[in-house]
């Protein structure tokens, strides 16, 4: 879910003033990150060794629980994702629905997850199973960790419906996180929950990964500012938790990617304090939200937020040689004057350093929804649907999209053994033209919503160019 921290920062010692954004402790990140520094961030890969790119949206049902849980998610979600060129869905699942009573797992809930995964497989969409929580869980009026796993030591909790994120800083919620991280019986219960999911769905063709916990938070110490607290929580609580859960998952599933998140404070351009995750198939999965925009402001291109975020968020995966997939992003007020520029600059930034992203959220209506009731993109969100290469059989040299000319270019060195590179073309009234240079050829359809293939001679240098065409088949640009 989107992150709003402005009111929290205004409360006492956490920030200098009510209108201020959180100030990172230590040196500020560089304003202009150098793409060359991203060469040490490895790509996501599939079981054929191809370089993967994930583009898609979160898929959720937060309104329904119990017998009705997940009923708001239908096959239409995945059919429409694929029709618009997307190949990725981050599926929100809730521990409180899976295990409403300790040790008693809901077979009905598991079957519903399986049905959703079957739709995703049918429409060729990769799914990340996300163990989601908002403000810990139902004990505080939200979703996530079950009430039986919520321990508050009798500390107070005051709801704040007008600013739900501020509830993370209520004493009872903060103490509940500490118990989750530190109590051995809760550690075992969380590990058992993940082992069940891994055993049940690890072999499902649609599943690409497990997101171990959404937007984890923790308990602040007296006098501690928010960035310092976030880095301590990441180092002392999240790192051991992720290593513990990774070991539990690997007992049931040896190969599926494991996704780990920092605290949401990373959205303020604060480098994470996470330590090394001792698993060979781990993905760094931060979220990408701006405090001011989440509070209703328009995008300010002069504030340097995207540049600061990019510089900060790439430090950890470069150091630890981990792929990056941004698990959530996208503002609420997408029709404000500068939001068209925001989407262009945000997509460019995400594509520079990440192996993919999931916007928030694929639903049919208003608010954060990507599309309206008829399935048409809401204002500016159509900019997320561009040509790209979901799988490249080789080493990518460059991968760029020019929104002004509607031109996508991919340059790569084909792998030594034969392999197929896949392209994804979104809906377009004009259609697309695909050209290749080098010893390669294009197979399959190249119309809107198509997924043509490129077959190249092993070891050859290949350049693929995709341009929007006019109705008569001519390209818009020479």
Distance CA 240, CA 246 (A): 10
Residue 39 has a pLDDT of 75
What average pLDDT score do residues 81-89 get? 96
Q: What are the pLDDT digits (tens) for 11-31? A: 332 332 222 223 333 333 333
Q: Taking the domains of the chain in order of start, what are their residue ranges?
A: 6-385, 386-478
DSSP string for residues in 209-227: EEE--SS---PPPTT--HH
Residue 346 has a pLDDT of 98
DSSP H/E element including 440: strand 440-443
pLDDT at 376 over 80: yes
What average pLDDT score do residues 237-248 get? 98
Q: Does the structural domain 6-385 have CATH classification 3.30.310.50?
A: no
Distance CA 261, CA 198 (A): 18
Residue 38 has a pLDDT of 77
- Both tokens assigned to 207: 């599943």
Other CB atoms within 10 Å distance of the CB of residue 205: 12
Q: What are the pLDDT digits (tens) for 35-76? A: 556 779 999 999 999 999 999 999 999 999 999 999 999 999
pLDDT at 460 over 60: yes
Residue 458 has a pLDDT of 97
Stated pTM of the model: 0.93
Distance CA 406, CA 386 (A): 8
pLDDT band at residue 10 under the 50/70/90 scheme: very low
pLDDT at 478 over 70: no
Residue 313 to residues 88, 114, 214, 431: CA-CA distances in angstroms?
A: 21, 33, 17, 36
Other CB atoms within 10 Å distance of the CB of residue 372: 14
Residue 254 has a pLDDT of 97
pLDDT at 9 over 80: no
Q: What are the pLDDT digits (tens) for 268-298? A: 889 999 999 999 999 999 999 999 999 899 9
Distance CA 275, CA 130 (A): 21
- Residue 235 per-residue DSSP state: I
Residue 238 has a pLDDT of 99
Distance CA 406, CA 477 (A): 9
pLDDT at 316 over 50: yes
Residue 470 has a pLDDT of 65
Residue with tokens 């409360």: 11
What average pLDDT score do residues 141-147 get? 98
Residue 213 has a pLDDT of 99
Q: Please, how many CA atoms are within 13 Å of residue 212, restricted to the half-sphere of its CB?
A: 33
DSSP string for residues in 111-162: HHHHHHHHHHHHTT-EEEEEE--SSSSGGGTSSSS-GGG---TT------GG
**Listed residue (454, 473, 457) closest to 465, CA to CA:** 454
Q: Please, how many CA atoms are within 13 Å of residue 336, restricted to the half-sphere of its CB?
A: 17
């Amino acid at each position: 879910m989107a992150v709003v921290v402005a009111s929290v920062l205004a409360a006492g010692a956490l920030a200098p003033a009510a209108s201020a954004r959180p100030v990172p402790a230590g040196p500020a990140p560089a304003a202009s990150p150098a793409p060359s520094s991203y060469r040490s961030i490895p790509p996501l890969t599939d079981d054929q060794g191809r370089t993967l790119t994930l583009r898609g949206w979160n898929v959720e049902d937060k309104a329904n629980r119990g017998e009705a849980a997940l009923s708001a998610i239908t096959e239409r979600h995945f059919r429409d994702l694929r029709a618009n060129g997307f190949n990725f869905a981050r599926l929100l699942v809730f521990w409180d629905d899976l295990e409403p009573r300790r040790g008693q797992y809901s077979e009905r809930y598991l079957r519903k997850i399986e049905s959703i995964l079957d739709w995703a497989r049918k429409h060729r969409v990769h799914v990340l199973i996300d163990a989601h929580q908002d403000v810990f869980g139902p004990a505080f009026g939200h979703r996530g960790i079950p009430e039986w796993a919520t321990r508050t030591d009798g500390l107070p909790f005051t709801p704040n419906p007008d600013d739900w994120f501020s509830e993370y800083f209520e004493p009872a919620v903060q103490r509940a996180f500490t118990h989750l991280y530190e109590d051995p019986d809760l550690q075992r219960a969380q590990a058992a929950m993940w082992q069940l999911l891994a055993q049940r769905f690890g072999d499902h063709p649609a599943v690409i990964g497990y997101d171990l916990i959404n937007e984890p938070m923790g308990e602040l110490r007296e006098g501690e500012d928010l960035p310092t607290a976030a880095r301590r929580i990441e180092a002392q609580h999240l790192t051991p938790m992720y290593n513990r859960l990774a070991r539990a998952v690997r007992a049931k599933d040896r190969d599926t990617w494991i996704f780990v998140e920092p605290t949401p404070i990373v959205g303020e351009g604060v480098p994470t304090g996470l330590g090394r995750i001792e698993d060979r198939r781990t993905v760094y999965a931060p979220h990408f939200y701006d405090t001011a925009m989440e509070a209703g402001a328009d995008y300010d291109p002069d504030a340097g937020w995207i540049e600061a975020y990019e510089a900060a968020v790439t430090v950890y995966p470069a150091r630890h040689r981990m792929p990056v997939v941004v698990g959530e992003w996208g503002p609420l007020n997408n029709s404000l004057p500068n939001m068209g520029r925001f989407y262009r600059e945000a997509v460019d930034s995400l594509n520079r350093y990440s192996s993919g992203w999931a916007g928030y959220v694929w639903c049919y209506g208003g608010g954060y929804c990507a599309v309206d009731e008829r399935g048409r993109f809401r204002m500016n969100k159509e900019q997320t649907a561009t040509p790209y290469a979901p799988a490249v059989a080789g080493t990518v040299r460059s991968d760029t999209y020019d929104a002004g000319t509607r031109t996508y270019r991919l340059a790569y060195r084909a792998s030594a053994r034969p392999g197929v590179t896949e392209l994804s073309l979104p809906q377009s009234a004009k259609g697309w033209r695909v050209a290749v240079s080098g010893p390669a050829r294009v197979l399959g359809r190249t119309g809107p919503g198509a997924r043509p293939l490129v077959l190249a001679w092993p070891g050859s240098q290949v350049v693929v160019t995709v341009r929007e065409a006019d109705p008569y088949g001519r390209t818009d640009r020479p």
